[in-house]
Homo-oligomer: A and B are copies of this chain.
């Protein structure tokens, strides 16, 4: 144990619009001792994800909001430093801690022991974890891409979008990404081998998308909302599928912007479906089994943005919601 004191990132108040660093504060207490069936972990990595904006708000959602005065919640990886469960030994690396704390007391059940030799452990928060599984489930359960179809993926360099598009390429589709800025677009085209990538900061998104999708759009993997959504919506083909994974461009809005008129949904028999990965928990292990060899052989590409220090986790979230990350946003804690 490196310290007897535990640090936590606490929600100080609910953000209005864009979250600010001082909506959070640090707090200290003593490192707890595990009871029976519990372990205490030293946090190594925290995942920072767009969905977290929703947890900061008080509105009804699929998960309860984080309470004011309570530690922020989110996926993490830790090392067991004290165990009250015979299945876990000190030194085990585990996935499944759920708090922005330097040391987490948690139930042993539900933790997944990681093999640090199989992949860099932080990959289990990104390409092999929740975001990767989200992409996999969206494509398998809703997208069902067929060879020769056109697939558009927004936030294409992100933790979810980069996997979604690579899966669509493996299925034989024409894949068009949308990303923010030339660096991301270059990576999406040159490394991920999407057929095209459009810079949504680069002007006439609707026109560029129409040019990039001469046969219309069969599947839209939606991560952003806003103007990109409106532009893709107008290109959807008969029997198109729209995988509603997120709308990060609108998460900080205090009022909901109008959406697309749904007349074309009737005319084109479009299917629009929301996706929350935890609805199908079996997809996590499925995806780890499918994707681990691809990560090992280097055929599944991913990027990470790493911020150091638990105290910088709120800033990592603010930057993520501004699109300042490049790939999976991570906080390295220990």
Leading 3 A-B pairs by shortest Cβ distance: A258-B258, A256-B261, A269-B274
Q: How far apart sit A238 and B245, CA to CA, in the bound complex (Å)?
A: 15
> Besides the contacts A250-B263, A266-B276, what 8 more A-B pairs have beta carbons closer than 8 Å?
A62-B269, A225-B263, A256-B263, A259-B261, A262-B272, A270-B274, A271-B271, A271-B273
13 contacts between A and B (CB under 8 A): A62-B268, A62-B269, A229-B262, A244-B266, A245-B266, A246-B266, A247-B266, A250-B263, A258-B260, A265-B274, A267-B274, A269-B275, A271-B273
Q: How far apart sit A279 and B273, CA to CA, in the bound complex (Å)?
A: 20
Chain A residues proximal to chain B, CB less than 8 Å: 54, 61-62, 225, 229, 238, 244-247, 250, 256-263, 265-276, 279
Evaluate contact between A262 and B225: CB separation under 8 angstroms.
yes
Q: How far apart sit A244 and B263, CA to CA, in the bound complex (Å)?
A: 8
Evaluate contact between A272 and B261: CB separation under 8 angstroms.
no
Chain B nearest CB: distance from A26 CB in Å? 30
Evaluate contact between A270 and B269: CB separation under 8 angstroms.
no
Evaluate contact between A238 and B269: CB separation under 8 angstroms.
no
Query: Which residues does chain B contribute within 8 Å of A246, judged by CB atoms?
Result: 266
Chain B nearest CB: distance from A88 CB in Å? 33
Evaluate contact between B262 and A269: CB separation under 8 angstroms.
no
Query: Which residues does chain B contribute within 8 Å of A271, judged by CB atoms?
Result: 271-274
Evaluate contact between A269 and B258: CB separation under 8 angstroms.
no
Residue of B nearest to A60 (CB): B267
Chain B nearest CB: distance from A250 CB in Å? 6
Evaluate contact between B274 and A273: CB separation under 8 angstroms.
no
